Amino acid sequence: MGVLLTHMTSIAEFTLPPADFPLGRLFETRPAVTLELDRIVPSGDTVLPYFWVHDPAGGMESNLEVFAGLPELRSVELLDDLGERGLFSSEWKPEYMGIMSAVPATGVTVLSATGSSEGWRFELRAQRTRQFSDFQQYCAEHDIPVTLRSLSRLSEGTAGARDGLTTDQREALVLAYREGYYDEPRTADQAAVAEKLGISRQALAARLRRGYRNLIERALIHPGDD
């Protein structure tokens, strides 16, 4: 008997214009900045996203001022200032949740979400491909202009199931390795690897970080570890 693909775990990539996500207003005044959602915590009628800001110019306090002026946010806080990187938390007003309301409504899981002045990119996982159709339908009904860029399916025997990496994360890690990014001394930098992938250096850095995190969680962290 054949396996029904609609019941296999699937991963989809959706894109969204930069201004159609609450935090995207930052790109209007800081086009070199990139954002990466770290995790999302549901809270009553809203969500509390934690996100990283990558700004080559630094100045996380000035980025905080921009966020504080957004009408979509109830509150925002700078949790960690690392110079060119800063970790923020915020609370969104429910009427501005947009794509974040489509996630719990359709039962999909956010694997990664990164944004730049070029737009937002979301990697979502679902147990049934039908959920992605429901996701698109929800977005259409709520005027959320998402675009499906790719769809892949995973089985228990695939690499993604074993190492926890998405296709893009694995591609970035493998290419960085082959190009000599991890050699000592390095024979390639992030800019060179990113150019080969056709993405920005900031987007590559985000993929590598997510990939490291997934590999560590799958290979080194075990239930019951302190």
Distance CA 90, CA 76 (A): 4
| Whole-number pLDDT of residue 84 | 86
**pLDDT tens track for 137-195:** 999 999 999 999 888 776 544 444 456 677 788 888 888 888 888 888 888 888 888 88
Distance CA 23, CA 164 (A): 28
- Report the amino acid identity of residue 199: I
For residue 23, give the nearest of 150, 94, 114, 138 by alpha carbon.
114
CA atoms within 13 A on the CB side of 36: 18
- The token pair at 120 is 């937002």
Return all residues near 18 (Cβ < 8 A) that are at least 6 apart: 24, 27, 115, 116, 117, 118, 119, 120
Are the C-beta atoms of 146 and 67 separated by less than 8 Å? no
Distance CA 221, CA 223 (A): 7
Match 């935090």 to its residue by tokens.
Answer: 23
Residues with pLDDT less than 70, the chain: 1-8, 41-47, 154-164, 218-226
Query: What single-letter DSSP state applies at residue 40?
Result: E
| Whole-number pLDDT of residue 129 | 83
| Whole-number pLDDT of residue 16 | 93
Are the C-beta atoms of 190 and 205 separated by less than 8 Å? yes
Q: Give the full edge-to-edge strand order of the sheet including 85-92.
A: 73-81, 85-92, 46-54, 34-43, 109-116, 119-126, 9-16, 147-154
| Whole-number pLDDT of residue 15 | 92
| Whole-number pLDDT of residue 6 | 44
Residue 151: exposure state from Cβ atoms within 10 A (0-12, 13-18, ≥19) = middle
Distance CA 157, CA 56 (A): 41
Distance CA 193, CA 176 (A): 6
